[in-house]
Structure 1
Amino acid sequence: MRKKGLFLYLSRPILKKIIAFFGLLLVFLSIYLLLGKNKTTATTIFIDAGHGGIDSGAYYFDVKEKDLNLQIALALGQELQSRGYEVLYSRTEDSDMCSLEGLPYSERQDLQLRVDRMEESKADLLISIHCNATQKGSERGPMTFYHHASPASKELAYHLQRHMNYLAMNSTPAITKTYQPRSANFYLLRHSSIPAVLVELGFMSNPEDLQLLQDPLYQRDLVYGLAEGAEEYLAGLSFFNVDFFSDPVIRSTTAPKASQELVFTEAQDLRSTLHNWQKKSGLFPEKLILKELTIEDNHIQLNFNQALEDFLKEDPTAFREAMTALADRISEGPFDTFSLLCEGEALSEQADRQLEWDQNILVTKLQAKMAIVIDDLGNNAVGTKELLQINRPITLAIMPFMEYSTDESEKAHRAGFPIIVHLSLEANRASPNWYGPKTIKTSMADEDIITILEEAHSSVPHAIGFNNHMGSKATSDVRVARLLVETAKSLNWLVIDSRTSEDSQLIKEAQRQEVLYGSRDYFIDVAHSKDGTKKRILKAAERALKTGEVLVIGHVGPDGGKSTVQAIREVLPALEARNVEIVPVTDIVRKVGEKTEKASSIPQSL
């Protein structure tokens, strides 16, 4: 006889109760999950519209910075809200913060009230909106600032700057020189406990920038770019792990205490040195006297006469330039901070307003520059996808006439990477399958060489120059080198010599024809391993710290690929902790007539 199932032994009323119980349980569980999902806290972004009310900020041709700041800040808030973020503002009307609180106006108080509102908001990040101005009317383009002690702020700044640079390069008229994020000691940034950046949207002192800043379409694109950058940062779309930054970029170390006599002697010597430099620099008024200098550990206190305050009142711009130069001069010694006194007293609020500095002024050590060029893009090579996720301005050398040349150029340009053409040139010895398409050979006629370069220009849009793929024979040929540089000049390209031959004529031709040029110092992935590449990068960094700059070349694909990208990713924190910044290749191209040293590693004779 077949056994009955369990439910057949249960009475119908009991069975109904069990079904009802599980039904109710399912309903309550669904409601709980739905409410739990709705309770998820949205990311909060605090937007600060700079200046306001009595403080108009920059003022050009009846256009006030405070109005532009507010207009764009409110539009940015609306865009972020449409993406699901909670947005809070420092101000939503034309008023300074002191007036909103019923207090008499003070710039320091105004800034502190912005900090207070931001901290009270419990926001996740801060974006402060400003417009720039300078006495040089030719300066153009957006800039982003972060505080050196906040690695997260630096990452956010790179995301925002990349999008703004893309917009700048595609504006009309185009902004050809773009910036990278800069460290600054602005009050709002140094007192923020959350990732914070100050964005200068453009230069009101430049007529073209001023016109763009008032253009509704350009404003719309600015807002979209800033929102995209903030969203990328919040989504963690960067290979750069913030946890790597356990130490500040600029370190403050305390030396063993020396005897009072030794410190006094050192102070006297330094005072004499600074006094002589002050006279020779031409930046300071003759009546300004450094009366006293005191050293305490890694801090210097400078006591000037009353002429310091007079200097500030008479020419605030010159005062700021002089103090910045003084900070640079002091940075050459083992000091981290210095403070200014005037006749033994702290400077007035006006001085602090001009400098945006606390009483202890940070001495920012001079940065060394490293330009990283990655070759062999254009064919969806291994490592390309990962490379495009690194949040630094690495220069990408794209091989023309490949299946993905144009597509990768467009993607890289949209992501804000500098692009050059990786031009295949004839080598002294090479397997035919090592070359790229349409290799330039010494046997070619002039017009054929010129045609290939012009076609390469179309194949790799947005390129700003070229470097050579192999090419030991072609670059050593005077005629070919001349044609390459002549055509590059007509295309407004710079020239990067990969140094595959000691006999290369590219630099000589670039100098003769007055074309901007650069020269490779190291190949970083010759060992074809992550650890080997990291060692080469760190070796290159040592050179940068000695000479101020270095240009290195790596590869995607079989010659480097993911191991090269991973090495760059892992070594970035160590580089930036030593104040070696990754810069676009345009930042270290040499001026015409400057001498270049030979590459520090043995050329690959290809």
Structure 2
Amino acid sequence: MTLTRLALLLLFFVSSHLHAAQVAIIIDDVGYRQSDKQVLQLPPQITLSFLPFTPLSHELSKQAYQQGHEIMLHLPMQALNGKAMGIGGINSDMNQRAINNILDKAIKDIPYAKGVNNHMGSFVTQLEQPMKWLMAELKQRNMFFVDSITTRYTKARSEADKAHVPNLRRTVFLDNDTSPQGLEHQFQHIIKLSKTHDHFIVIAHPHLETIEYLKENLGRLKHYNVQVIPVTQLLAARYKNTEGNITASSSAPLTK
């Protein structure tokens, strides 16, 4: 083996072990079911996003915060399919004062929330004005925003950028299919992305199948040099180096 080839192999070995992808995993839709309490079994590196005004939201978010989880508000927003968004949601008929009041009440229910991501919202996130009002209020409260990307026409992130609200966008939904095969398929997708991208967001839900899968498989990510971190740490990475940002997976549903 020539010295040049040996040097190249050594360089490849070192660089492959130095590269560490960082991923934030958000479990949202938390708060409705008694089974949602199982999220407390997940490690504190997992970020939890709570639906406001649900039976468990206030107390469970407090418990999760005390266990070290980063907490988010999963804010309901109007969808294209007309599906009921639940209490405390934003719709297209609201003015700025109404949106501010909704956000104020929701944050009082989830007081430890550092940021917001949208629940549904395929209609209202396409509308410039409500997104502008929402981002202005988040800016006042020093909160970040994660766009769940329920429509490819979302204006949430562009309005967040205009308002100087720290923001990220979802890349992968882990559990559209909660079968073992479906979860493993998306897990492999995460591993594949980690080889070419430094930072990205994964969203999952408090299905018992998802929680059990994560408990059994999160440790595998260390083998691929993938680090699970809270969203705020991923935001710090994004604003230090934006090269890791990628668009949402084309396999994700876009009409929620």
1:399 aligns with 2:138: no
Aligned residue for 1:461? 111
Q: For the residues of structure 2 that align with 1:579 and 1:493, how far apart are their CA atoms? A: 30
Aligned residue for 1:370? 23
The correspondence for 1:541, drawn from 177, 191, 194, is 191
| Alignment deviations for residues 422-469 of structure 1 (CA, whole Å, 9 cap, x no partner) | 00000011332xx22122100112211110001111110110000000
Amino acid at match of 2:5: E
The correspondence for 2:69, drawn from 398, 401, 417, is 417
The alignment partner of 2:62 has SS state of helix
Aligned residue for 2:222? 576
| Alignment deviations for residues 531-552 of structure 1 (CA, whole Å, 9 cap, x no partner) | 3112202212211221112211
Aligned residue for 1:597? 246
Give the superposition deviation at 1:364.
Answer: 5.2
Distance 1:461 1:399, change over 3 A: same
Aligned residue for 1:526? 176
Q: For the residues of structure 2 that align with 1:376 and 1:533, how far apart are their CA atoms? A: 18
Are 1:373 and 1:554, in contact at CA under 8 Å, matched by a contact in 2? yes
Give the superposition deviation at 1:386.
Answer: 2.6
Q: For the residues of structure 2 that align with 1:430 and 1:537, how far apart are their CA atoms? A: 31
Runs of 4+ that moved beyond 3 A: 592-597
State how 1:142-541 maps to structure 2 within 5 Å: 259=1, 262=2, 264-266=3-5, 333-335=12-14, 365-382=18-35, 384-432=36-84, 435-541=85-191
Q: For the residues of structure 2 that align with 1:548 and 1:457, how far apart are their CA atoms? A: 31
The alignment partner of 1:334 has SS state of helix
Are 1:534 and 1:571, in contact at CA under 8 Å, matched by a contact in 2? no
Q: Percent identity?
A: 29
Aligned residue for 1:64? none
The alignment partner of 1:400 has SS state of coil
Are 1:376 and 1:399, in contact at CA under 8 Å, matched by a contact in 2? yes
The alignment partner of 1:568 has SS state of helix
Are 1:516 and 1:592, in contact at CA under 8 Å, matched by a contact in 2? no
The alignment partner of 2:18 has SS state of coil
Amino acid at match of 1:367: A
Distance 1:470 1:592, change over 3 A: farther
Are 1:409 and 1:419, in contact at CA under 8 Å, matched by a contact in 2? yes
Distance 1:441 1:456, change over 3 A: same
Aligned residue for 1:9? none
Are 1:421 and 1:460, in contact at CA under 8 Å, matched by a contact in 2? yes
Aligned residue for 1:231? none
Please report the TM-score for the alignment, with normalisation by the length of structure 1: 0.40
Q: For the residues of structure 2 that align with 1:408 and 1:583, how far apart are their CA atoms? A: 21
Q: For the residues of structure 2 that align with 1:417 and 1:392, how far apart are their CA atoms? A: 4
Q: Greater CA radius of gyration, 1 or 2? A: 1
Q: May I ask how many residue pairs the two structures share in their alignment?
A: 252
Give the superposition deviation at 1:392.
Answer: 4.1
Distance 1:506 1:569, change over 3 A: same
Please report the TM-score for the alignment, with normalisation by the length of structure 2: 0.90
Amino acid at match of 2:246: E
Distance 1:549 1:597, change over 3 A: closer
Q: For the residues of structure 1 that align with 2:14 and 2:110, how far apart are their CA atoms? A: 47
Q: For the residues of structure 2 that align with 1:508 and 1:448, how far apart are their CA atoms? A: 22
Amino acid at match of 2:51: M
Are 1:422 and 1:469, in contact at CA under 8 Å, matched by a contact in 2? yes
Q: For the residues of structure 1 that align with 2:104 and 2:195, how far apart are their CA atoms? A: 38
Q: For the residues of structure 1 that align with 2:175 and 2:113, how far apart are their CA atoms? A: 24
Distance 1:591 1:381, change over 3 A: farther
Are 2:78 and 2:90, in contact at CA under 8 Å, matched by a contact in 1? yes
Q: For the residues of structure 1 that align with 2:184 and 2:28, how far apart are their CA atoms? A: 17
Are 1:495 and 1:515, in contact at CA under 8 Å, matched by a contact in 2? yes
Are 1:530 and 1:564, in contact at CA under 8 Å, matched by a contact in 2? no
| Alignment deviations for residues 382-413 of structure 1 (CA, whole Å, 9 cap, x no partner) | 2x333211224111010011122110111010
Amino acid at match of 2:216: E
Q: For the residues of structure 2 that align with 1:370 and 1:437, how far apart are their CA atoms? A: 31
Amino acid at match of 1:582: V
Give the superposition deviation at 1:482.
Answer: 0.5
Give the superposition deviation at 1:592.
Answer: 9.4
Q: For the residues of structure 1 that align with 2:241 and 2:134, how far apart are their CA atoms? A: 19
